Chains A and B, each alone.
Chain A
């Protein structure tokens, strides 16, 4: 704990439009910029998923206007097999990197971490600005691949070698498309590394007087743990992407073995590389990435739930330790993506047990949530509905992990829609429910206006039911042996499953439409919403102690002093059933562990 003013690179309130809204050093503006980027990305990714789903339900259906996106990819508006794979790759890449990583971590974390620790900004504001703009350029580079000769890469967001490394001969988009993909992701890694550096130093060095580590809100803990994961995971993916680019541009063979014959041509330019090396490097990043996407959600949801349960969690420490356990174990389990890859089968067991063990901290987290709901005074609003929906999704998506953690069962379920259902529920839908919970909860503080509750609840109901209608049937398809990443189902045994795909497509279209209610609510409330008071939810953490929206230096020149644990609810105080962290008032009854 320090007086943080000595540690921030000094920067006064900006006066020009450019410095205020574009190249801003203010963590709050950068947080909003990340949120805006994620918003654009998530709608782009969703439209891509619509196109894919329509194609999977009705393979020869002409989608009006699709040829404008790609004349070659959709002649007569009917998607070609390769274009399906290209859209699928872009959907996965956009969603995993530019939505699930940026929104819960970079957007909310940037805006609220410094305020929650009681700082006036992050310690390296220029790095912070650079972090966003490098990420923005990464997004542009990725999207630009839609407009190059043969379109974006078709290799999936995992970009397995040698398909990704051998060049254009392997298929459309496998030349320049891959180079742009790898460049984009390498840039993205740079952005996230700069962000992680700021998050870690903010948490460790910028806490205000009285803000011990255990007094940090759970959301701050989640962002801190995520930033540590990001520092180690992205620093592996970035060089892997550079090696992939070198295989394309510099004639190296990191990921290409000898004597490959493609299109009847011996690929003599390459020799001696390892195709499994890419998988190891990718999944060493890829599995922690799952937790980079979901741990901020665990923190945000805990933070939102506590406020709406009017009580602290049964144990603050146990949740923090469980988040930490997830982070540590996430590096020991990555091989479960590779059970049938040709990796040594003994190592499959070595990866299987930690994967099974990771269910223990996950279960602890769920049980602490459920145990804390018991005996609470639960307030139902859009934010708490999404937080509770998150728990339901996290349970559903997490439990299917029992199957995939076991190599023997993975023989049947690997690369099927069971995996698609599993990771969408636990990593995508749950994480997005966390983003929604955070949005409805923090929007007043970020903008000074309230979101419309009626529209919010309608959005919740349609999304909650719709997401289950989409993603639960994926598990049934996988059990029946439906392989993923097929643009059409030509195998005899897949024919009976096509009606299920059509049901999912209709559900996806309707659930996607419901997201426009959210978008309308977001934009309308930003300009026309009811003015928000400083603390509309009667919450306790430091972001609610300052003005709405917070001033440039967060606390108007006077840093708060912290007197309490973050969640002093269910007590008797002059303000009601809670005491804010910066209130010197003595607490009569506390429900935190002591």
Chain B
């Protein structure tokens, strides 16, 4: 039975690795400037974790196979190098591995979070609510008007609580149900939740960031490929959480300009 068990462990280990090696399921395509660093970090981690996984499982299987049927009168033997050798190996191998992953991973993280958006980054505000995203563009004046929570109303389609009567900056703000951005231009996404915790996740954009009620956050990114992508919520926000989504359209600058004009006309 021990030998069957050992073979089973090896088959499971190999079977688990095959979909990874065959790229049956992979990270979605990357369409961001900062994404390659994250993807490289992911690939390096997969290589190191994969080798550790296979080596450990194979060793476990091999020892089960070899030491479960001892010869009569066989003596207990100690692993060469004993416990201290293994502890040193763990510190050196895994210590080096995690240090390398940590340092290089920090670089990838810093590329997303430790750099401010460029001065000419295009501001877009996203409002999260049960169970929809709404987007706001500042209009020709380049300024967002203030939010008035007491004016927020789905019924009146005032999703951001804008007071266009009294706030001059709000007058030209453009509110949309879908997000469009120009390709190869940095976007500064200002995040606000009107009700609960939500999240903004676009797998292809390599962006995931929670909305925190009471705390306005922002992320910035540059999309590099024209196309239509899904924005999904990853923070449990209630019964319609699974259906909280919007589309992100990455457009050529010309198409984006005409789209924005079209949206402005519809306000």
Q: Is B227 an interface residue (CB 8 A)?
A: no
Residue of B nearest to A314 (CB): B83
- B43 → A minimal CB distance (Å): 10
A396 touches B234 (CB 8 A): no
Q: Could you give, for residues 56-79 of chain B, a 1 whenever the CB lies within 8 Å of some chain A CB and a 0 otherwise? A: 110110011001101000111111
Pairwise interchain contact B25-A162, C-beta atoms closer than 8 A: no
Q: Per-residue 0/1 for B225-237: is the Cβ within 8 Å of any A Cβ (1 yes, 0 no)?
A: 0000010111111
In the complex, the chain A residue whose C-beta lies closest to that of B83 is A315
A266 to chain B, nearest CB (A): 5
- Do A392 and B60 have beta carbons less than 8 Å apart? yes
- A275 near B197 (CB under 8 angstroms)? yes
Q: Which residues of chain B have C-beta atoms less than 8 A from A311's C-beta?
A: 76
Which of A408, A465, A485, A487 has the most chain B CB atoms closer than 10 A to its own CB?
Answer: A408
The reply to whether B79 and A399 contact each other, CB–CB distance below 8 Å, is no
- By beta carbon, the residue of chain A nearest B229 is A493
B118 interface residue, CB < 8 Å from A? no
Judging by beta carbons under 8 Å apart, are A342 and B215 in contact? yes
> Are A375 and B76 in contact, with the CB atoms below 8 A?
yes
Q: Does B2 reach chain A (CB closer than 8 Å)?
A: yes
Which of the segments A18-26, A365-373, A443-451, A552-560 contacts the partner chain? A365-373
Contact present for A591 and B76 (CB under 8 Å): yes
Query: Is B90 in contact with A414, judged by CB distance below 8 angstroms?
Result: no
Inter-chain CA distance A406–B46, complex, in Å, is 12
B260, CB-defined interface residue at 8 Å: no
Count of B residues near A, CB < 8 Å?
A: 102
B259 interface residue, CB < 8 Å from A? no
Stretch at the interface among A104-112, A152-160, A244-252, A512-520: A152-160
B239/A171 in contact, CB under 8 A:
yes
Give the nearest-CB partner of A457 in chain B: B1
Q: What is the distance, in angstroms, from A210's C-beta to the closest C-beta of chain B? A: 25
Report the bound CA distance from A399 to B13 in whole Å: 13
Closest CB in chain A relative to B110 CB, distance in Å: 8
Q: Is the CB of A340 within 8 A of B105?
A: no
Contact A380-B230, Cβ < 8 Å, known A399-B52, A406-B105, A493-B203: no
Cβ–Cβ contact B112 & A408, under 8 A? yes
Within 8 A of B (CB), among A385-403: 385, 388, 391-392, 395-396, 399-400, 402-403
| 8 Å CB interface, B82-102 against A | 82-84, 86-87, 89-91, 93-95, 98-99, 101-102
Sample of 27 A–B contacts (CB below 8 Å): A82-B238, A154-B236, A160-B197, A162-B213, A260-B195, A261-B195, A309-B67, A310-B76, A360-B91, A364-B86, A367-B89, A371-B79, A373-B63, A375-B67, A377-B74, A399-B53, A402-B48, A403-B45, A406-B102, A412-B42, A415-B234, A485-B236, A488-B242, A489-B242, A490-B245, A491-B230, A591-B76
- A contact set with B: CB distance below 8 Å: 80-82, 85, 154-156, 160-163, 166, 170-172, 174, 256-262, 264, 266, 273-276, 309-311, 313-315, 318, 340-342, 345-346, 348-349, 352-353, 356-357, 359-360, 363-364, 366-368, 370-380, 385, 388, 391-392, 395-396, 399-400, 402-403, 405-409, 411-412, 414-416, 457, 464-465, 468, 472, 476-477, 479-481, 483-493, 569-570, 591, 593
* B residues adjacent to A (C-beta < 8 A): 1-2, 5, 8-9, 12, 16, 19-20, 24-28, 37-38, 41-42, 45-46, 48-49, 52-53, 56-57, 59-60, 63-64, 67-68, 70, 74-79, 82-84, 86-87, 89-91, 93-95, 98-99, 101-102, 105-106, 108-109, 112-114, 129-130, 149-150, 152-155, 161, 194-197, 199, 201, 203, 206-215, 217, 230, 232-243, 245
Q: 8 nearest interchain CB pairs?
A: A257-B214, A375-B77, A315-B83, A408-B108, A570-B76, A345-B113, A486-B242, A82-B239
